[in-house]
Structure 1
């Protein structure tokens, strides 16, 4: 798989931007998703993609030390436990 340094994970995301994205995802009924965006030299944010099933960028994940598949597995584990308590 080809990877690129042109993508990065911004963590932490500015609170207002994170809230806007979480609100959008909730209103759209999306429990698990990724939002891709670019920032202009002037600081303007442009969202260009919303994914509910994405290919993760291993280079960006490794640089950030954040691995989406681990977060997804933990989320699904918690959802399963909530639906089928022991």
Structure 2
């Protein structure tokens, strides 16, 4: 199983919290606690890991995350968006 598949599998078992006011989404491992070993911050999101296990994914700006996910798709389209 490659890294994207592992992360996708881990997200399925996580708790999801949504802030109705800001639109922020938090995926949190239901049983894992502690200080993360690795924190990765990007445009509108933060990933926190303990070892190779995803502790949480905080999507503070869903539009920023959508831009990140849209870039690979845009390169495959026959017209420019």
Q: Same fold (TM over 0.5)?
A: no
TM-score by length of 1: 0.29
TM-score by length of 2: 0.30
Structure holding more helix per residue: 1
Structure holding more strand per residue: 2
Which of structures 1 and 2 has the larger relative contact order (alpha carbons within 8 angstroms, sep 6+)? 1
